[in-house]
Structure 1
Amino acid sequence: MKLATWNVNSLRVRLPQVLAWLQTQQPDVLALQETKLEDHLFPVAELAALGYHAAFSGQKTYNGVALLSRQPLQDVQLGVPGLADDQRRVLAATTGGVRVVCLYVPNGQALDSPKYAYKLNWLAAVRNWLQAEVTVHGRVAVMGDFNVAPEDRDVYSPARWAGQVLVSDPERAAFRALLDIGLHDALRLHDQPERVFSWWNYGRLALARNWGLRIDHILVSATLAGECQGCTVDTGPRHHERPSDHAPVLATFAAPA
Protein backbone atom coordinates (compact mmCIF):
# COMPACT_ATOMS: atom_id res chain seq x y z
CA MET A 1 0.00 0.00 0.00
CA LYS A 2 1.21 3.47 -0.85
CA LEU A 3 -0.24 6.58 0.80
CA ALA A 4 0.58 10.12 -0.24
CA THR A 5 -0.27 13.72 0.57
CA TRP A 6 0.17 16.89 -1.48
CA ASN A 7 -0.81 20.50 -0.97
CA VAL A 8 -1.39 21.40 -4.62
CA ASN A 9 -2.13 25.10 -4.05
CA SER A 10 -5.00 25.15 -6.60
CA LEU A 11 -6.12 21.93 -8.26
CA ARG A 12 -7.43 23.91 -11.22
CA VAL A 13 -3.89 25.11 -11.98
CA ARG A 14 -2.09 21.92 -11.00
CA LEU A 15 -4.48 19.26 -12.39
CA PRO A 16 -2.22 18.19 -15.31
CA GLN A 17 0.67 17.79 -12.86
CA VAL A 18 -1.48 15.77 -10.45
CA LEU A 19 -2.75 13.47 -13.21
CA ALA A 20 0.78 12.86 -14.49
CA TRP A 21 2.05 12.23 -10.98
CA LEU A 22 -0.72 9.73 -10.26
CA GLN A 23 0.18 7.80 -13.38
CA THR A 24 3.86 7.72 -12.41
CA GLN A 25 3.61 7.04 -8.68
CA GLN A 26 0.29 5.17 -8.61
CA PRO A 27 -0.51 5.70 -4.91
CA ASP A 28 -3.40 3.78 -3.44
CA VAL A 29 -4.55 6.94 -1.67
CA LEU A 30 -3.65 10.58 -2.28
CA ALA A 31 -4.75 13.32 0.10
CA LEU A 32 -4.93 16.80 -1.44
CA GLN A 33 -5.02 20.18 0.28
CA GLU A 34 -5.72 23.70 -0.95
CA THR A 35 -7.76 22.45 -3.88
CA LYS A 36 -9.45 25.88 -4.00
CA LEU A 37 -12.37 24.45 -5.97
CA GLU A 38 -16.08 24.47 -5.33
CA ASP A 39 -17.44 20.93 -5.33
CA HIS A 40 -19.31 21.22 -8.62
CA LEU A 41 -16.01 22.00 -10.36
CA PHE A 42 -14.06 19.04 -8.96
CA PRO A 43 -12.49 16.95 -11.79
CA VAL A 44 -14.27 13.70 -11.00
CA ALA A 45 -14.24 12.38 -14.58
CA GLU A 46 -10.53 13.01 -15.17
CA LEU A 47 -9.61 11.17 -11.97
CA ALA A 48 -12.04 8.33 -12.63
CA ALA A 49 -10.38 7.82 -15.99
CA LEU A 50 -7.19 6.96 -14.07
CA GLY A 51 -9.06 4.59 -11.77
CA TYR A 52 -9.50 6.85 -8.75
CA HIS A 53 -12.57 7.34 -6.59
CA ALA A 54 -12.81 10.80 -5.06
CA ALA A 55 -14.28 12.45 -1.99
CA PHE A 56 -13.92 16.20 -1.69
CA SER A 57 -14.91 19.23 0.31
CA GLY A 58 -14.12 22.53 -1.34
CA GLN A 59 -14.78 26.22 -1.46
CA LYS A 60 -13.98 29.03 -3.85
CA THR A 61 -10.49 30.60 -3.73
CA TYR A 62 -9.38 29.18 -0.36
CA ASN A 63 -8.81 25.89 1.45
CA GLY A 64 -10.38 22.69 0.10
CA VAL A 65 -9.43 19.05 0.74
CA ALA A 66 -9.87 15.82 -1.17
CA LEU A 67 -9.14 12.10 -0.95
CA LEU A 68 -8.40 10.05 -4.06
CA SER A 69 -8.43 6.27 -3.73
CA ARG A 70 -8.13 3.23 -5.96
CA GLN A 71 -10.75 1.51 -3.80
CA PRO A 72 -14.14 2.97 -2.93
CA LEU A 73 -14.24 5.48 -0.10
CA GLN A 74 -16.67 4.62 2.69
CA ASP A 75 -17.96 6.36 5.81
CA VAL A 76 -16.92 9.77 4.53
CA GLN A 77 -16.70 12.47 7.20
CA LEU A 78 -16.59 16.18 6.33
CA GLY A 79 -15.14 18.42 9.00
CA VAL A 80 -14.58 17.71 12.68
CA PRO A 81 -17.68 16.59 14.58
CA GLY A 82 -18.72 19.22 17.10
CA LEU A 83 -16.39 21.90 15.73
CA ALA A 84 -18.23 24.88 14.23
CA ASP A 85 -15.98 25.83 11.33
CA ASP A 86 -17.05 26.84 7.83
CA GLN A 87 -13.56 26.41 6.38
CA ARG A 88 -13.11 23.25 4.34
CA ARG A 89 -10.04 21.75 6.02
CA VAL A 90 -10.89 18.20 7.10
CA LEU A 91 -11.98 15.07 5.27
CA ALA A 92 -11.91 11.44 6.43
CA ALA A 93 -12.91 8.14 4.89
CA THR A 94 -12.23 4.42 5.13
CA THR A 95 -10.61 2.58 2.24
CA GLY A 96 -8.70 -0.67 2.01
CA GLY A 97 -9.17 -1.28 5.73
CA VAL A 98 -7.52 2.01 6.69
CA ARG A 99 -9.15 5.14 8.09
CA VAL A 100 -7.51 7.98 6.18
CA VAL A 101 -7.77 11.58 7.31
CA CYS A 102 -6.83 14.59 5.21
CA LEU A 103 -5.97 17.76 7.14
CA TYR A 104 -5.22 21.28 6.03
CA VAL A 105 -4.15 22.93 9.27
CA PRO A 106 -4.58 26.73 9.51
CA ASN A 107 -1.43 28.75 8.94
CA GLY A 108 -1.85 31.03 11.95
CA GLN A 109 -0.44 34.14 10.21
CA ALA A 110 1.50 35.55 13.22
CA LEU A 111 1.85 34.85 16.92
CA ASP A 112 -0.12 38.00 17.82
CA SER A 113 -2.90 37.31 15.30
CA PRO A 114 -6.38 35.99 16.14
CA LYS A 115 -5.67 33.40 13.45
CA TYR A 116 -2.91 31.96 15.64
CA ALA A 117 -5.34 31.38 18.52
CA TYR A 118 -7.78 29.87 16.01
CA LYS A 119 -5.04 27.50 14.84
CA LEU A 120 -4.22 26.26 18.33
CA ASN A 121 -7.89 25.81 19.24
CA TRP A 122 -8.47 24.02 15.94
CA LEU A 123 -5.57 21.63 16.56
CA ALA A 124 -6.87 20.86 20.05
CA ALA A 125 -10.30 19.97 18.66
CA VAL A 126 -8.75 17.83 15.94
CA ARG A 127 -6.62 16.00 18.51
CA ASN A 128 -9.68 15.09 20.59
CA TRP A 129 -11.51 13.81 17.53
CA LEU A 130 -8.51 11.85 16.24
CA GLN A 131 -8.03 10.20 19.61
CA ALA A 132 -11.46 8.63 19.18
CA GLU A 133 -10.73 7.73 15.54
CA VAL A 134 -7.55 5.86 16.53
CA THR A 135 -9.42 4.00 19.27
CA VAL A 136 -12.30 3.00 17.01
CA HIS A 137 -10.48 2.21 13.77
CA GLY A 138 -7.01 1.09 14.84
CA ARG A 139 -5.49 1.39 11.37
CA VAL A 140 -5.39 5.15 10.87
CA ALA A 141 -3.33 7.48 8.65
CA VAL A 142 -3.53 11.25 9.13
CA MET A 143 -2.05 13.11 6.18
CA GLY A 144 -1.78 16.68 5.06
CA ASP A 145 -0.31 20.13 5.36
CA PHE A 146 0.06 20.57 9.11
CA ASN A 147 1.67 24.03 8.88
CA VAL A 148 4.01 22.96 11.69
CA ALA A 149 7.70 22.13 11.43
CA PRO A 150 7.98 19.76 14.42
CA GLU A 151 11.68 20.18 15.21
CA ASP A 152 14.60 22.45 14.39
CA ARG A 153 15.91 19.87 11.93
CA ASP A 154 12.71 20.45 9.95
CA VAL A 155 13.69 24.10 9.35
CA TYR A 156 16.52 25.25 7.08
CA SER A 157 17.47 28.04 9.51
CA PRO A 158 15.95 27.79 13.01
CA ALA A 159 17.56 31.10 14.00
CA ARG A 160 15.98 32.94 11.08
CA TRP A 161 12.57 31.43 11.81
CA ALA A 162 12.63 31.94 15.59
CA GLY A 163 9.51 33.67 16.88
CA GLN A 164 7.44 32.97 13.78
CA VAL A 165 4.42 30.81 13.06
CA LEU A 166 5.01 27.21 11.96
CA VAL A 167 7.86 26.78 14.45
CA SER A 168 6.59 28.26 17.73
CA ASP A 169 6.64 26.19 20.92
CA PRO A 170 2.81 26.04 21.28
CA GLU A 171 2.44 24.80 17.70
CA ARG A 172 5.09 22.16 18.21
CA ALA A 173 3.44 21.12 21.46
CA ALA A 174 0.14 20.72 19.57
CA PHE A 175 1.91 18.52 17.03
CA ARG A 176 3.43 16.38 19.80
CA ALA A 177 -0.03 16.08 21.33
CA LEU A 178 -1.12 14.31 18.14
CA LEU A 179 1.74 11.84 18.54
CA ASP A 180 0.75 11.31 22.17
CA ILE A 181 -2.56 9.73 21.13
CA GLY A 182 -0.66 6.91 19.41
CA LEU A 183 0.33 8.38 16.06
CA HIS A 184 3.83 8.16 14.57
CA ASP A 185 5.59 10.47 12.12
CA ALA A 186 6.15 8.10 9.19
CA LEU A 187 9.17 9.95 7.86
CA ARG A 188 10.95 9.70 11.21
CA LEU A 189 10.42 5.94 11.37
CA HIS A 190 13.32 5.62 8.92
CA ASP A 191 16.81 7.02 8.51
CA GLN A 192 16.74 10.17 6.39
CA PRO A 193 19.33 12.46 4.83
CA GLU A 194 19.74 15.87 6.41
CA ARG A 195 17.62 18.85 5.35
CA VAL A 196 14.52 17.03 4.14
CA PHE A 197 11.81 19.61 3.52
CA SER A 198 8.40 19.68 1.83
CA TRP A 199 7.74 23.40 1.34
CA TRP A 200 9.82 26.18 -0.18
CA ASN A 201 8.89 29.81 -0.72
CA TYR A 202 8.46 30.79 -4.36
CA GLY A 203 10.98 33.63 -4.16
CA ARG A 204 14.65 34.23 -3.32
CA LEU A 205 15.87 31.02 -4.98
CA ALA A 206 14.56 29.14 -1.96
CA LEU A 207 14.25 25.83 -3.77
CA ALA A 208 17.70 26.02 -5.34
CA ARG A 209 19.21 26.80 -1.94
CA ASN A 210 16.98 24.25 -0.20
CA TRP A 211 15.68 26.93 2.12
CA GLY A 212 12.62 24.94 3.10
CA LEU A 213 10.48 23.62 5.92
CA ARG A 214 9.02 20.18 6.55
CA ILE A 215 5.39 20.97 7.26
CA ASP A 216 3.63 18.21 5.27
CA HIS A 217 3.32 14.96 7.20
CA ILE A 218 1.95 11.45 7.24
CA LEU A 219 1.11 10.29 10.77
CA VAL A 220 0.17 6.65 11.27
CA SER A 221 -1.20 4.54 14.09
CA ALA A 222 0.96 1.88 15.74
CA THR A 223 -0.16 -0.99 13.49
CA LEU A 224 0.61 0.95 10.33
CA ALA A 225 3.89 2.16 11.82
CA GLY A 226 4.93 -1.46 12.16
CA GLU A 227 4.12 -2.06 8.49
CA CYS A 228 5.75 1.12 7.17
CA GLN A 229 8.59 0.29 4.76
CA GLY A 230 9.63 3.82 3.89
CA CYS A 231 8.64 7.48 3.65
CA THR A 232 10.03 10.12 1.31
CA VAL A 233 9.41 13.60 -0.05
CA ASP A 234 9.17 13.66 -3.85
CA THR A 235 10.75 16.98 -4.80
CA GLY A 236 10.32 16.37 -8.52
CA PRO A 237 6.96 18.16 -8.91
CA ARG A 238 8.37 21.23 -7.15
CA HIS A 239 10.65 21.74 -10.19
CA HIS A 240 7.78 21.89 -12.68
CA GLU A 241 6.78 25.08 -14.44
CA ARG A 242 4.10 26.77 -12.30
CA PRO A 243 4.49 24.27 -9.42
CA SER A 244 2.83 24.15 -6.08
CA ASP A 245 5.08 25.51 -3.35
CA HIS A 246 4.73 22.10 -1.64
CA ALA A 247 6.08 18.69 -2.68
CA PRO A 248 4.25 15.38 -2.23
CA VAL A 249 5.09 13.09 0.69
CA LEU A 250 4.76 9.32 0.18
CA ALA A 251 4.81 6.37 2.55
CA THR A 252 4.76 2.68 1.61
CA PHE A 253 3.45 -0.18 3.74
CA ALA A 254 3.75 -3.94 3.69
CA ALA A 255 0.60 -6.01 3.46
CA PRO A 256 -0.83 -6.95 6.87
CA ALA A 257 0.42 -10.28 8.17
Structure 2
Amino acid sequence: MKIATWNVNSLKVRLPHVLDWLAANQPDALCLQELKLEDKGFPVAELQAAGYNAVFNGQKTYNGVAILSPHPLEDVVRDIPGFSDEQKRIIAATVNGVRIVCGYFPNGQAVGSDKFEYKLRWLGALTEWLRAELTAHPRLVLGGDFNIAPEDRDAHPDWKDEIHVSAPERAAFTALTALGLVDAFRLYDQPERAFSWWDYRMGAFRRNFGLRIDHLLVSPALQPACRACTVDKAPRKLERPSDHAPVVLDLEV
Protein backbone atom coordinates (compact mmCIF):
# COMPACT_ATOMS: atom_id res chain seq x y z
CA MET A 1 0.00 0.00 0.00
CA LYS A 2 1.33 3.40 -0.99
CA ILE A 3 0.23 6.51 0.89
CA ALA A 4 1.42 10.02 0.03
CA THR A 5 0.92 13.59 1.17
CA TRP A 6 1.35 16.74 -0.90
CA ASN A 7 0.60 20.40 -0.31
CA VAL A 8 -0.28 21.42 -3.85
CA ASN A 9 -0.68 25.18 -3.14
CA SER A 10 -3.79 25.52 -5.36
CA LEU A 11 -5.31 22.41 -6.86
CA LYS A 12 -6.75 24.44 -9.75
CA VAL A 13 -3.26 25.55 -10.79
CA ARG A 14 -1.55 22.26 -10.02
CA LEU A 15 -4.18 19.78 -11.29
CA PRO A 16 -2.11 18.74 -14.35
CA HIS A 17 0.83 18.00 -12.03
CA VAL A 18 -1.39 15.98 -9.72
CA LEU A 19 -2.90 13.95 -12.55
CA ASP A 20 0.54 13.21 -13.99
CA TRP A 21 1.85 12.23 -10.56
CA LEU A 22 -1.09 9.91 -9.93
CA ALA A 23 -0.56 8.18 -13.27
CA ALA A 24 3.16 7.72 -12.64
CA ASN A 25 2.97 6.65 -8.99
CA GLN A 26 -0.47 5.04 -8.57
CA PRO A 27 -0.86 5.63 -4.82
CA ASP A 28 -3.55 3.89 -2.81
CA ALA A 29 -4.17 7.19 -1.05
CA LEU A 30 -2.98 10.73 -1.69
CA CYS A 31 -3.56 13.43 0.92
CA LEU A 32 -3.72 16.93 -0.55
CA GLN A 33 -3.49 20.24 1.29
CA GLU A 34 -4.01 23.89 0.44
CA LEU A 35 -6.59 23.24 -2.25
CA LYS A 36 -7.62 26.92 -2.26
CA LEU A 37 -11.02 26.18 -3.76
CA GLU A 38 -14.59 25.60 -2.63
CA ASP A 39 -16.17 22.17 -2.76
CA LYS A 40 -18.26 23.16 -5.77
CA GLY A 41 -15.06 23.77 -7.72
CA PHE A 42 -13.37 20.48 -6.83
CA PRO A 43 -12.31 18.57 -9.99
CA VAL A 44 -14.33 15.43 -9.30
CA ALA A 45 -14.84 14.52 -12.97
CA GLU A 46 -11.17 14.86 -13.91
CA LEU A 47 -10.08 12.68 -11.00
CA GLN A 48 -12.76 10.09 -11.68
CA ALA A 49 -11.57 9.91 -15.27
CA ALA A 50 -8.09 9.18 -13.89
CA GLY A 51 -9.52 6.36 -11.75
CA TYR A 52 -9.60 8.16 -8.38
CA ASN A 53 -12.35 8.71 -5.86
CA ALA A 54 -12.12 11.81 -3.71
CA VAL A 55 -13.39 13.24 -0.47
CA PHE A 56 -12.69 16.88 0.23
CA ASN A 57 -13.21 19.77 2.59
CA GLY A 58 -12.69 23.01 0.71
CA GLN A 59 -12.64 26.72 1.33
CA LYS A 60 -12.49 29.68 -1.03
CA THR A 61 -8.99 31.15 -1.55
CA TYR A 62 -7.40 29.49 1.50
CA ASN A 63 -6.80 26.11 3.14
CA GLY A 64 -8.73 23.02 1.98
CA VAL A 65 -7.85 19.32 2.21
CA ALA A 66 -8.69 16.15 0.28
CA ILE A 67 -7.96 12.43 0.14
CA LEU A 68 -7.80 10.68 -3.23
CA SER A 69 -7.90 6.91 -3.71
CA PRO A 70 -8.72 4.31 -6.36
CA HIS A 71 -10.41 2.39 -3.51
CA PRO A 72 -13.61 3.25 -1.60
CA LEU A 73 -13.25 6.05 0.97
CA GLU A 74 -15.28 5.16 4.05
CA ASP A 75 -16.29 6.69 7.40
CA VAL A 76 -15.43 10.24 6.32
CA VAL A 77 -14.94 12.96 8.94
CA ARG A 78 -14.46 16.64 8.16
CA ASP A 79 -12.90 19.06 10.67
CA ILE A 80 -11.84 18.27 14.24
CA PRO A 81 -14.94 17.15 16.13
CA GLY A 82 -15.82 19.51 18.95
CA PHE A 83 -13.35 22.22 17.85
CA SER A 84 -15.05 25.33 16.51
CA ASP A 85 -13.09 26.42 13.44
CA GLU A 86 -14.08 28.13 10.20
CA GLN A 87 -10.84 27.06 8.52
CA LYS A 88 -11.01 23.83 6.53
CA ARG A 89 -7.94 21.91 7.61
CA ILE A 90 -8.89 18.30 8.37
CA ILE A 91 -10.41 15.36 6.53
CA ALA A 92 -10.26 11.68 7.49
CA ALA A 93 -11.33 8.48 5.77
CA THR A 94 -10.68 4.75 5.90
CA VAL A 95 -9.03 3.11 2.89
CA ASN A 96 -8.62 -0.67 2.82
CA GLY A 97 -8.78 -0.86 6.60
CA VAL A 98 -6.25 1.94 7.19
CA ARG A 99 -7.50 5.14 8.81
CA ILE A 100 -6.03 8.15 7.03
CA VAL A 101 -6.14 11.60 8.56
CA CYS A 102 -5.11 14.46 6.25
CA GLY A 103 -4.27 17.78 7.85
CA TYR A 104 -3.20 21.23 6.78
CA PHE A 105 -1.73 22.54 10.02
CA PRO A 106 -1.85 26.30 10.69
CA ASN A 107 1.23 28.27 9.70
CA GLY A 108 1.34 30.38 12.85
CA GLN A 109 2.83 33.48 11.17
CA ALA A 110 5.11 34.51 14.05
CA VAL A 111 5.86 33.25 17.53
CA GLY A 112 3.63 35.03 20.04
CA SER A 113 1.09 36.23 17.49
CA ASP A 114 -2.64 35.51 17.61
CA LYS A 115 -2.17 33.11 14.70
CA PHE A 116 0.55 31.32 16.64
CA GLU A 117 -1.76 30.89 19.62
CA TYR A 118 -4.45 29.54 17.27
CA LYS A 119 -1.90 27.08 15.89
CA LEU A 120 -1.16 25.74 19.37
CA ARG A 121 -4.86 25.49 20.27
CA TRP A 122 -5.53 23.68 17.00
CA LEU A 123 -2.67 21.25 17.63
CA GLY A 124 -3.99 20.55 21.12
CA ALA A 125 -7.48 19.79 19.79
CA LEU A 126 -6.06 17.57 17.05
CA THR A 127 -3.99 15.60 19.55
CA GLU A 128 -6.95 14.94 21.83
CA TRP A 129 -9.15 13.85 18.93
CA LEU A 130 -6.44 11.55 17.59
CA ARG A 131 -6.16 9.92 20.99
CA ALA A 132 -9.73 8.68 20.51
CA GLU A 133 -9.23 7.92 16.80
CA LEU A 134 -6.29 5.64 17.59
CA THR A 135 -8.46 3.66 19.98
CA ALA A 136 -11.15 3.26 17.34
CA HIS A 137 -8.71 2.81 14.44
CA PRO A 138 -5.41 1.24 15.56
CA ARG A 139 -4.11 1.19 11.96
CA LEU A 140 -3.80 4.94 11.36
CA VAL A 141 -1.68 7.33 9.29
CA LEU A 142 -1.59 11.07 9.95
CA GLY A 143 -0.35 12.88 6.86
CA GLY A 144 -0.10 16.47 5.84
CA ASP A 145 1.66 19.80 5.89
CA PHE A 146 2.43 20.16 9.59
CA ASN A 147 4.21 23.53 9.25
CA ILE A 148 6.65 22.19 11.87
CA ALA A 149 10.25 21.09 11.32
CA PRO A 150 10.54 18.76 14.33
CA GLU A 151 14.35 18.71 14.69
CA ASP A 152 17.30 20.91 13.77
CA ARG A 153 18.22 18.53 10.97
CA ASP A 154 14.80 19.21 9.42
CA ALA A 155 15.67 22.85 8.73
CA HIS A 156 18.47 24.49 6.79
CA PRO A 157 21.16 25.56 9.28
CA ASP A 158 20.72 29.20 8.26
CA TRP A 159 16.97 29.18 8.89
CA LYS A 160 16.63 32.19 11.18
CA ASP A 161 12.88 32.56 11.57
CA GLU A 162 11.52 31.13 14.78
CA ILE A 163 8.25 30.02 13.20
CA HIS A 164 8.18 26.33 12.22
CA VAL A 165 11.14 25.53 14.49
CA SER A 166 10.12 27.11 17.80
CA ALA A 167 10.11 25.16 21.06
CA PRO A 168 6.29 25.28 21.50
CA GLU A 169 5.71 23.94 17.99
CA ARG A 170 8.23 21.16 18.45
CA ALA A 171 6.67 20.31 21.80
CA ALA A 172 3.29 20.01 20.07
CA PHE A 173 4.84 17.65 17.51
CA THR A 174 6.29 15.61 20.38
CA ALA A 175 2.82 15.42 21.94
CA LEU A 176 1.56 13.81 18.75
CA THR A 177 4.34 11.25 18.78
CA ALA A 178 3.62 10.61 22.46
CA LEU A 179 0.33 9.10 21.30
CA GLY A 180 2.48 6.36 19.80
CA LEU A 181 2.68 7.91 16.34
CA VAL A 182 6.03 7.50 14.59
CA ASP A 183 7.62 9.77 11.97
CA ALA A 184 7.90 7.27 9.11
CA PHE A 185 10.60 9.28 7.34
CA ARG A 186 12.94 8.82 10.30
CA LEU A 187 12.56 5.05 10.33
CA TYR A 188 15.14 4.98 7.51
CA ASP A 189 18.54 6.43 6.71
CA GLN A 190 18.00 9.67 4.81
CA PRO A 191 20.24 12.15 3.00
CA GLU A 192 21.44 15.14 4.97
CA ARG A 193 19.33 18.27 4.52
CA ALA A 194 16.34 16.30 3.26
CA PHE A 195 13.52 18.83 2.97
CA SER A 196 9.98 18.92 1.57
CA TRP A 197 9.39 22.69 1.21
CA TRP A 198 11.42 25.42 -0.43
CA ASP A 199 10.41 29.07 -0.78
CA TYR A 200 9.81 30.35 -4.31
CA ARG A 201 12.15 33.26 -3.63
CA MET A 202 15.93 33.63 -3.67
CA GLY A 203 16.58 30.40 -5.54
CA ALA A 204 15.75 28.43 -2.40
CA PHE A 205 15.13 25.14 -4.20
CA ARG A 206 18.31 25.40 -6.25
CA ARG A 207 20.27 26.15 -3.06
CA ASN A 208 18.34 23.52 -1.06
CA PHE A 209 17.37 26.17 1.46
CA GLY A 210 14.32 24.42 2.85
CA LEU A 211 12.41 22.77 5.64
CA ARG A 212 11.00 19.30 6.22
CA ILE A 213 7.49 20.21 7.31
CA ASP A 214 5.42 17.60 5.40
CA HIS A 215 5.10 14.39 7.37
CA LEU A 216 3.52 10.94 7.52
CA LEU A 217 3.12 9.64 11.05
CA VAL A 218 2.12 6.00 11.54
CA SER A 219 0.49 4.23 14.48
CA PRO A 220 2.29 1.46 16.39
CA ALA A 221 0.14 -1.17 14.67
CA LEU A 222 1.36 0.00 11.25
CA GLN A 223 5.01 0.60 12.02
CA PRO A 224 6.03 -3.03 11.33
CA ALA A 225 4.41 -2.73 7.89
CA CYS A 226 6.52 0.28 6.84
CA ARG A 227 8.98 -0.44 4.04
CA ALA A 228 10.17 2.99 2.82
CA CYS A 229 9.47 6.70 3.14
CA THR A 230 10.88 9.28 0.73
CA VAL A 231 10.48 12.83 -0.56
CA ASP A 232 9.77 12.97 -4.30
CA LYS A 233 11.47 16.18 -5.43
CA ALA A 234 10.62 15.70 -9.12
CA PRO A 235 7.37 17.75 -9.08
CA ARG A 236 9.21 20.68 -7.46
CA LYS A 237 11.38 20.89 -10.60
CA LEU A 238 8.41 21.42 -12.92
CA GLU A 239 7.28 24.72 -14.38
CA ARG A 240 4.95 26.59 -11.98
CA PRO A 241 5.34 23.96 -9.25
CA SER A 242 3.97 23.82 -5.75
CA ASP A 243 6.56 24.97 -3.24
CA HIS A 244 6.13 21.57 -1.53
CA ALA A 245 7.17 18.11 -2.73
CA PRO A 246 5.20 14.90 -2.13
CA VAL A 247 6.22 12.59 0.70
CA VAL A 248 5.57 8.91 -0.02
CA LEU A 249 5.19 5.97 2.35
CA ASP A 250 5.28 2.34 1.24
CA LEU A 251 3.53 -0.18 3.48
CA GLU A 252 3.23 -3.93 3.23
CA VAL A 253 -0.24 -4.59 4.62
Shorter-chain TM band: over 0.9
Q: Structure 1: 5+ residue runs without aligned partners?
A: none
Contact 1:161 1:167 in 2 (8 A): no
3-state DSSP of counterpart to 1:218: strand
Matched, 1:107 2:113: no
Q: Which residue of 1 aligns with 2:233?
A: 235
Please show how residues 49-64 of structure 1 align to structure 2 within 5 Å.
49-64=49-64
Contact 1:134 1:182 in 2 (8 A): no
User: What TM-score, normalized to structure 2?
Assistant: 0.99
Q: Which residue of 2 aligns with 1:224?
A: 222
3-state DSSP of counterpart to 2:221: helix
Structure 1 runs (4+) deviating above 4 angstroms are none
Q: Deviations over 1:85-130 (max 9, x none)?
A: 0100000011100000000000000012100000001000000000
Distance in 2 (CA, whole Å) between partners of 1:59 and 1:82 is: 19
Shift of 1:160: 3.5
Q: Which residue of 1 aligns with 2:211?
A: 213
User: What TM-score, normalized to structure 1?
Assistant: 0.97
Shift of 1:161: 2.3
Shift of 1:213: 0.1
Q: Which residue of 1 aligns with 2:27?
A: 27
3-state DSSP of counterpart to 1:17: helix
Q: Deviations over 1:47-68 (max 9, x none)?
A: 1111111000101100000000
Q: Which residue of 2 aligns with 1:122?
A: 122
Distance in 2 (CA, whole Å) between partners of 1:254 and 1:98 is: 12
Contact 1:198 1:249 in 2 (8 A): yes
Count of aligned pairs between the two proteins: 253
> Which of 225, 240, 244 is matched with 1:246 structurally?
244
Q: Structure 2: 5+ residue runs without aligned partners?
A: none
Q: Which residue of 2 aligns with 1:161?
A: 160
Distance in 2 (CA, whole Å) between partners of 1:146 and 1:83 is: 18
Contact 1:108 1:165 in 2 (8 A): yes
Q: Which residue of 2 aligns with 1:182?
A: 180
Shift of 1:70: 1.3
Q: Which residue of 2 aligns with 1:13?
A: 13
Q: Match for 2:26: what amino acid? A: Q
Q: Which residue of 2 aligns with 1:2?
A: 2
Distance in 2 (CA, whole Å) between partners of 1:151 and 1:30 is: 25
Contact 1:183 1:220 in 2 (8 A): yes
- Root-mean-square deviation (CA, aligned residues, Å) is 0.8
3-state DSSP of counterpart to 1:223: coil
Matched, 1:146 2:143: no
Q: Which residue of 1 aligns with 2:92?
A: 92
